[in-house]
Each structure stands twice: as C-alpha cells, then as structure tokens.
Amino acid sequence: MAFAYRNGLLCAEDVPLDQIARAHGTPCYVYSRAAIERAYGEYAAALAGRNALVCFSVKSNSNLAVLALLARLGAGFDIVSGGELARVLAAGGDARRTLFSGVGKSESEIAQAIEAGILCLNLESEAELERVAAVAARIGRQAPIAFRVNPDVDAKTHPYISTGLKQNKFGVAHEDAERLYRRAASLPAVEVVGIGCHIGSQLTDAAPLVEATSRIVALAKRVEKAGIRLAHIDLGGGIGIRYHEESTQPIGRIVGAMLERVDLRAAMLILDPGRSIVGNAGVLLTRVEYLKPGATKNFVVVDAAMNDLMRPSLYDAWHEVRPVRASEAPAQAPRYDIVGPVCESSDVLAKDRALSVQAGDLLAIMSAGAYGMTMSSNYNSRPRIAEVMVDGARAHLVRRRETIESLYALESVPDW
Ligand code: LLP
C-alpha cells in the first residue's frame, strides 16, 4: 500500500504526510513512485512476450518527474497537444513511441509532431486527414497515421467521460473507416501505420473494452484485406480504479480478456492508460482552516479547492477523505461537507462525510493522482499548488508552488 497509516500517521511510502506539509506547505499533491511503478508493472506483466507498447496518457498527469519515471520504465506516451509533446521530450520521452490523439490538432502541432518523429497521428476526421497530408507535403515528410475509430460501444461510464458512442465528438464512424483508409492509402504524403479506438474512461467492467476490441480487430482485418497493412492496433485507455465502492478487476485480467480477442499476430498492440497508472498513486494533502457548523449542514473549510481538484464539482466524483492523524470517527461524529475557499457553491471536495476533525488538522483527499493537477486552474487567483514525489524515505519537490506574481506576470495595462 503506497498510502497507509504507520504509528497513527498516514504516510506516503515511508514518509508521514505531516512531514511533507511542514516541508512544502499545503495544499499539495503527493505522489508515490512505487505505486506508479507497480501499476505500470501490471501492464508490462500482462503484455509480456507480446509485441506491445504502453503509451501513458499524459493528460492524466503531466508532471515531468512522472513522465521521466515512466519513460525510464519503457513507456511510450499518448498526447493531445503540442504542449504535451514538449513535456514528453523535456522528460526524456521518445517521440517515436508517442501517439498524438485529439480532434483539433492545429497545423503547427501537426508539423511539430511530424518533425519530432512521432510514432503516429491518430486522426479523428476526414478533414484532419486532408490537413495532415497537406502539412506533410509542405514540409517534405510523410506523416504516419491511424484512424481513431468510434466502435459505437456503450462504455457505461459518466457521460462526460464516455467517448465511444455515435453521438460523441470523438473518432471516425465505424462505417466510414474503410473508405477513409482507402483515401489515406492513396495520399503519398501519409503512411498508414495503424488503427485505434478509445471508448471512455473509468471503466470498471471489462465487457465494453472486450467488445470494442472485437470490433476493431474485425475492422482491421477488413482494412488489411483491402491491401492496407496495419503495423499497430491501439485499444485505448480507460481501465478504471477504485475510488469508493467500485468493484474493479485487476489490470492483468482485463488486459488478458482483451488480448484473447486480438488474433492479428503481426500487429504491435498499443494501450494508452492514464488513470489506472497514476490515479491511486497520488493524494491531495490539505489543511483544515475552519469548522463551520450549521443548522442543516456542517462544513469543513479546507485550504484546497475546486480549482486544485475539479473532479468532484465537475463530475460529482467521489474521493475518499482520510485524516492524516488516524482517528476513528465515533458513531455520533458530525457529518461534514468538505469545501474550499473558492466563491462557488459547487466548490465541494467531498459531501456528507463523518469525520472527527479540528481546525489545523491535515486531511488527504485520496485517489487524486490522475486528472488532479492537470485539470487545475488559477481561478480566484489561486497559485497552482506544489507537487511532491515520494520515493521510499525521500520526498522530492517536483513542482514548486506558483508565486502570486507569476499569476499576472504576462499581463499588462494599456497605456491609455
Ligand atoms: N486515450 C485517449 C484517446 C483518451 O482520450 C484518454 C482519456 C485516455 C487514453 C486515457 O484514459 P484513462 O486510462 O485515463 O481512462 N477528466 C476525466 C477523464 C477524461 C479522460 C479523457 N480521455 C476525469 O477526471 O475522470
């Protein structure tokens, strides 16, 4: 367990979280190196002996230390912007092991990716194919491409993070795919290298992933019959984690079930997980500022807010809240909403939790390693918070807390 109580104190690996709060202040994100390595290792073990690549989805956690750690373990990357590509390269990642996804790639991002030697541009529309071909021709290069195909499978997850249905903006329609592959094969400036899909995120049931795999494999076979060779098949990310009472299955079992449907021996298999690698490897450490008992509701006001962790206000997501100093909430303990200082009623990190707390106590918002820091903002002119990576008994500051001055450093007042 990366985060467990020792001598009554919640620790990240061997470091008590109160020590991190003293050294680096609150709020801050705390990650466990061992937990990231363990989760990556589950993928590596499940894919052992196969021609396969795990492309970590950078949008889930883009801290350079996280990316560098995964690059050293042999991971490739899944990116959605020129900014993410720059981060991957700055962290020592390899463009030749990096996939570029997303519906809105700009001309300069496309050129930047081709010039960096990207493994593949995952195309999501016919218009994008034409743009990529034009950009590649202009810079005198061939662009490696795949289509992200929408398999029209219901991932049965939150509608905001379900992406594989016909009504979603993502991917090209299943029925258009063969025509688009033929068109791509006719364009000299593009080289067809693969096929991909991604049906959604936080999937706790293997069935939709297995179903999507079957559909993509069947389609890949039809494309190959048309004489177009596919060097890889990318089955996306999406495997869920346990936040609350979800019954999750081990990564190895889900990947194993998907692999049973892949009988294209020649093709390299790619997965692009994010959350299942970093989600449970991070916590948001926060301090109680005030207790605010009320007639109908009690509030714990903490120093972290919705701008630091958007998931609860955006998706009504549930994150466990643990006191850093172990305390059993007695049966009669008051129930609190944990709220932040931001001026929005939706600035709630957790609802209706039984806690025995006092002002000054430290709390850990659990399972915050994925889509925490990467979705944070400066709303209410709050500097983005520090990030700390624990490695055994050592805690490394891997992102300094932003300064107030940096918040308006790029702004100017006109000379009226
Ligand atoms: N591949 C593609 C093409 C994706 O769009 C995504 C995530 C992933 C891989 C990684 O999915 P994962 O393994 O992390 O489920 N902000 C939301 C999640 C948005 C996911 C977007 N796409 C949240 O906080 O729950």
Residue, of 330 and 55, whose pLDDT is higher: 55
Instruction: Ligand 1, residue 203: give the atom nearest the CA.
Output: 15
Tally of CA atoms within 13 A in the half-sphere of 227 that contains its CB: 5
Q: How do residues 62-101 score in pLDDT, each as one tens digit?
A: 999 999 999 999 999 999 999 999 999 999 999 999 999 9
Atom of ligand 1 at shortest distance to CA of 275?
A: 14
What's the token pair of residue 337? 């909403």
How many helices (H) does the chain have, and how many strands (E)? Answer: 12, 21
- Cβ(322) – ligand 1 distance below 6 Å: no
User: If you average pLDDT over residues 284-310, what whole number do you get?
Assistant: 97
Give the residue from 178, 130, 173, 181 showing the smallest Cα distance to 152. 173
Q: What is the pLDDT of residue 160?
A: 56
pLDDT at 329 over 80: no
In 10 A of CB 187, how many CB atoms? 19
Closest protein CA for atom 3 of ligand 1: 198
pLDDT reading at 128 higher than 80: yes
Locate the ligand 1 atom nearest the alpha carbon of residue 163 and give its number.
5
Q: How far is the CA of 300 from the centre of ligand 1 (A)?
A: 31
Instruction: Indicate if the pLDDT at residue 263 is higher than 70.
Output: yes
What's the CA gap between 366 and 314, in Å, rounded?
Answer: 17
* Whether residue 27 has a cis bond before it, omega within 30° of 0: yes
Which H or E element spans position 386? strand 386-391
The end-to-end CA distance of the chain, in Å, is: 59
C-alpha–C-alpha distance, residues 214 and 165, integer Å: 16
Q: How confident is the model at residue 331 (pLDDT cuts 50, 70, 90)?
A: confident
Query: E-strand spans in 311-378?
Result: 321-323, 335-339, 348-354, 362-365
Q: Are 360 and 287 in contact (CB under 8 A)?
A: yes
Q: Give 323's strand partners.
A: 363
Q: 272: Cβ below 6 Å to ligand 1?
A: yes
pLDDT score for 88: 98
Render pLDDT for 39-55 as a digit per residue (tens, 0 to 9).
Answer: 999 999 999 999 999 99
Would you state the structure tokens that stand for residue 37, as one six-digit string? 């390595």
Q: Indicate if ligand 1 lies below 6 Å from the C-beta of 311.
A: yes
Are 149 and 195 spatial neighbours (Cβ–Cβ below 8 Å)? Answer: yes
* Mean pLDDT over the full length of the chain: 95
Provide the 3-class DSSP secondary structure of residue 329.
coil
Largest CA distance in the chain: 72
Q: How many A from CA of 293 to the centre of ligand 1?
A: 37
Which ligand 1 atom sits nearest the alpha carbon of residue 237? 13
User: Which one is predicted more confidently, 272 or 166?
Assistant: 272
Q: In angstroms, rounded to a whole number, what is the distance separating the alpha carbons of residues 190 and 146?
A: 10
Q: What is the pLDDT of residue 6?
A: 97
Banded pLDDT at 192 (limits 50, 70, 90): very high
Distance 274 CA to ligand 1 centre (A): 6
Whether the pLDDT of residue 113 is over 60: the answer is: yes
The residue whose CB lies within 8 Å of the most ligand 1 atoms, and thus the one to mutate among 58, 59, 81, 203, is 59
CB of residue 102 inside a 6 A radius of ligand 1: no
Q: Among all chains, which residue has been given the structure tokens 């709020």?
A: 27
Closest CA to 355 of 382, 385, 332: 332
pLDDT at 14 over 80: yes
- Residue 339, token pair as written in the block: 């709220």
Phi, psi (rounded to 5 degrees) for 185: -65, -20
Instruction: Return the minimum-mean-pLDDT range out of 253-267, 303-317, 377-391.
Output: 253-267
Whether this prediction's pTM lies above 0.85 is answered by yes
Q: Would you place residue 165 in the very low, low, confident or very high pLDDT band (cuts 50, 70, 90)? A: low
pLDDT at position 8 over 80: yes
Q: What pLDDT is recorded for position 162?
A: 59
How confident is the model over 175-193, as a mean pLDDT? 97
Domains and CATH numbers, the chain: 3-30+279-407 (2.40.37.10), 33-276 (3.20.20.10)
Nearest CA to ligand 1 atom 7: 201
Q: Which residues, other chains included, contact 336 with Cβ-Cβ below 8 Å and sequence gap of 6+?
A: 291, 298, 299, 300, 352, 353, 354, 355, 357
CB 200 within 8 A of CB 154: no
Hunting for tokens 């007639």 — which residue is that?
A: 295
Q: Which residues pair with 288 in a beta bridge?
A: 302
CB 300 within 8 A of CB 347: no
Of the residues 57, 170, 241, 316, which should be mutated to test ligand 1's pocket, given the most ligand atoms within 8 Å of the CB? 57
CA angle 71, 77, 81 (to 5 degrees): 130
Tokens matching residue 219:
């389609």
Sorting pLDDT into bands at 50, 70 and 90, what band is 159?
A: low
Which token pair is 409? Answer: 């450093």
Measuring CA to CA, which residue among 362, 319, 305 is closest to residue 11? 362
Residue bearing tokens 């470091």: 15
Indicate the residue type of 219: L
Active-site positions? 343
Kindly list the distances between the CA atom of residue 248 and the CA atoms of 56, 254, 322, in Å, as whole numbers in the listed order.
Answer: 20, 10, 21
Local confidence band at 330 (pLDDT 50, 70, 90 cut-offs): confident
Residue 164 is predicted with a pLDDT of 58
pLDDT of 366 > 60? The answer is: yes
Pocket flag, ligand 1, residue 201 (CB < 6 Å): yes
Instruction: Verify whether ligand 1 is closer than 6 Å to residue 52 (CB atom).
Output: no
Q: What six digits make up the tokens of 95?
A: 């463009």
Q: How does residue 152 score in pLDDT terms, banded at 50, 70 and 90? A: confident
> Higher model confidence: residue 1 or residue 60?
60
How many A from CA of 59 to the centre of ligand 1? 7
Asked if residue 191 has pLDDT above 60, the reply is yes
> 151 pLDDT band (50/70/90 cuts)?
confident
Using a 10 angstrom Cβ sphere, with 0-12 exposed, 13-18 middle and 19 or more buried, the burial of residue 298 is middle
